[in-house]
Homo-oligomer: A and B are copies of this chain.
Amino acid sequence: MNSPTKKTTRIQAANQQKILEAALDMFSQFGYRGTTIDQIAAKAGMSKANLLYYFRRKNDVYLAVLESILDQWLEPLARLDQDKDPEQELRAYIETKLRLSQQNPRASRLFANEIMQGAPMIQPFLSNQLKELVELKCEVIQHWIDNGKLQPVKPMHLIFMIWASTQHYADFATQIQALTTDTDDKLYKDASQTLSSIVLRGVLVD
């Protein structure tokens, strides 16, 4: 099943997918400790023992789901291009992050949950891949600042600000739904407009 030399059968592919979907739902809501194998199995429409035929332990399911979302997390930031216009780059970055939040809020919440639990499973990812990428992109932002294209802000904190304000719509969706009756599309449209205008007006040099 996790052997690279074995073929994945039709049933395996289907069931693994079902399990990962169900697991994403449950882990993103209740975290690792708060989610039971039975919950995931029920959501995936199978028995617990059946689920454990495909993934040996609860931990393996969790890691598989986490791994399935981590590349998504790196990708938008990796796109920030030093040689392009900062206004366009930052606007695109905010857009992409909001699109992610809208299209896969559970992934955002899973990530948030993992971080709040102290990131037991992804500490290497944070300290290596993410750290390297963030440092690289801080240099991009600093380059723009040094060239007089952006106001002198702390690059890392600008990145945090964009992460925070775009992910918020996914992570705190329950709160937001209690506060507004806007449709999803209107909500994200207004978010995009507001965040872009404030961030860009706040960092661009005229």
Contacts and interface: CB of A to CB of B under 8 A. Distances in A.
Given A119-B174, A174-B119, A178-B131, A154 B190 contact: yes
Interface residues of A, number: 56
Interface string A117-132: 1110001001100110
A202 B164 CA distance: 17
Would you call the interface of chain A mostly helix, strand, loop, or mixed? helix
A52 B201 CA distance: 54
A153 interface: yes
B130 A174 contact: no
B29 A118 contact: yes
A154 B171 CA distance: 20
Contact of A34 (B30, B115, B179, B201): B30
A158 interface: yes
Interface string A179-196: 110000000001101110
Nearest to A125: B178
Nearest to A120: B174
Interface in A123-172: 123, 126-127, 130-131, 134, 151, 153-154, 156-158, 160-161, 163-165, 167-169, 171-172
Most buried by B among A30, A123, A203: A30
A158 B198 contact: yes
Interface of A: 28-35, 109, 112-113, 115-119, 123, 126-127, 130-131, 134, 151, 153-154, 156-158, 160-161, 163-165, 167-169, 171-172, 174-176, 178-180, 190-191, 193-195, 197-203
